[in-house]
Amino acid sequence: MPTALKRKWKPSSFQIILMGFAGVILTGAVILMFPFSSKDGVWTPFIDTLFTSTSAVCVTGLIVYDTATHWSLFGQIVILLLIQIGGMGVVTVAIAFAMLSGRKIGLFARGTMKEAVAAPGVGGIVRLTGFIIKGIFLIEFIGAALMAPVFISDYGADGIWMAIFHSVSAFCNAGFDIMGEKTGEFSSLTGYSAEPVINITIMLLIIVGGIGFLVWEDVVKHKWRLNRYRTQSKVVLITTAVLIIVPAIYFFFVEFEDLPLGERFLASFFQSVTPRTAGYNTVSLPAMSEAGSAIIIMLMLIGGSPGSTAGGMKTTTIAVMFSSAFSVFRKKDNAELMKRSIGDDNVKSAACIFLMYISLFLLGGIVISTAEGIPMLTSLYETASAIGTVGLTLGVTPALGVLSKMILILLMYFGRVGGLTLIYAALGGRKTQLAKLPQDNITVG
């Protein structure tokens, strides 16, 4: 027998990440099908449980059933566990169990973890994993502790579960809520639009979860000494601040001018934070203008930062794209960020990711609009929400057909695992180019 046939297939780190997410999604979908997962004790169709499980694992928040009114307490716990696994990352969870059991973490596992959290190298990856796990549970505990008094005051003992659920969901940038029985189905956090503790806590959880684990490490290690931060951390923090403040100013002066000043301030910042990529809302999204909806679509596509609980193209991708454009305008040879030259490979990767996200976002929107007979802006809102793993919707998700749901499922999966992960998993490792084709120039622009 030829040697090639004897050789066993060994999955790459990227393929393990893809299969890990797919395995958890399918497991969650099967569990949610059973009658004990629903409040009415009925079987839930597989397409709907697959949609819900994908949305939870991919920390999106798009739902076909109201989480509080359709799912039993058991079903809600399953959904929360799927959110936690999806937010932490399947590989992170697996390595956490290996560390707790005292097993030695091999080089391949370290390399897989490196890809999962977007770390610069395998050195210190086990220590970083421990730091990430401790940080996640500490932050979620603090978030729940801050919100618990408000929820307990409003709903009694039920407020404890509500505080835990929303803290985990917000930190993992999932956007699932269990307010349906309290403030109406699919109401999200609209009943708390003027409540500062809930608003500020949820916003901080979203931001902290979305800036990335490597940024955490810099913040903990270097505190306020920003000059010692990694270039990536500086880019993430500055880009995140811009993407929060600029849209908030627009929302404050244009979209929510009829609200009282305090509620207007909270609503403006909340709706600026949540599209990247949490999926909560404290105002009626269909009531916003088309310009406001377009801004939210752009924010949803950008998403969070690398190695975080968030999805989307990532803040660093947009920063590299803009720096590349500015370098062309200024006739410089290389893109520059924070007084550092950005490599051509980074620029190519950013351009590739940008093209993939925009293409899938538009293609999915066109197909859904055609299949469902709904306005194009509404369809693009859904596809941006799915591929950005956000969860915001203009209210059409529950009524979508099977084809549209499958498109959104694929977009959510793609948005969570990442564009380059899919490409590298499908095409294998980097191929050495032994010969180059003759170079030629093409006029662009």
Structure confidence by residue, pLDDT tens digits, 286-339 = 999 999 999 999 999 998 888 788 888 899 999 999 999 999 888 888 888 888
Could you tell me which residues come within 8 angstroms of residue 281 by beta carbon, excluding any fewer than 6 positions away?
188, 189, 190, 270, 271, 274, 392
Report how far residue 39's alpha carbon sits from residue 185's, in angstroms, rounded to the nearest whole number.
14
Residue 122 contacts residue 108 (beta carbons within 8 Å): no
- The average pLDDT across 35-63 equals 95
Closest by CA to 272, choosing from 233, 299, 308, is 299
Q: Which residue has the tokens 């990711």?
A: 353
- The average pLDDT across 47-58 equals 95
Q: 378-428: per-residue pLDDT in tens?
A: 999 999 999 999 999 999 999 999 999 999 999 999 888 766 566 655 555
Q: 115-131: per-residue pLDDT in tens?
A: 666 666 666 777 777 88
Calculate helix-pair angle for 196-210, 158-171, nearest 10 degrees.
40
Q: 165-215: per-residue pLDDT in tens?
A: 999 999 999 999 999 999 999 999 999 999 999 999 999 999 999 898 889
Domain boundaries, given as residue ranges, for the chain: 11-426
Residue 267 contacts residue 256 (beta carbons within 8 Å): yes
Helix (H, G, I), strand (E, B) or coil at 141: helix
Distances (CA, A) of 322 to 239, 246, 318, 341, 371: 11, 16, 6, 13, 35
Helix (H, G, I), strand (E, B) or coil at 230: coil
Report how far residue 344's alpha carbon sits from residue 110's, in angstroms, rounded to the nearest whole number.
27
pTM (global) more than 0.85: yes
Closest by CA to 299, choosing from 361, 382, 384, is 384
Calculate helix-pair angle for 419-427, 13-33, nearest 10 degrees.
110
Instruction: Return the DSSP state at 307.
Output: T
Residue 169 contacts residue 176 (beta carbons within 8 Å): yes
C-beta neighbour count of 160 within 10 angstroms: 15
Report how far residue 172's alpha carbon sits from residue 308's, in angstroms, rounded to the nearest whole number.
9
- Look at residue 93 and tell me whether its pLDDT is greater than 90: no
349 HSE (CA, 13 A, CB side): 18
Q: What average pLDDT does the structure give for the chain? A: 87
C-beta neighbour count of 391 within 10 angstroms: 31
Angle value at C-alpha 393, between 378 and 415, nearest 5 degrees: 95
- The average pLDDT across 133-160 equals 95
Enter the tokens of residue 256.
């929510």
Alpha-helical segments (H) within 34-124: 46-57, 67-70, 73-88, 90-100, 107-117
Burial class (CB in 10 A: 0-12, 13-18, 19+), 337: buried
Calculate helix-pair angle for 402-417, 376-387, nearest 10 degrees.
40
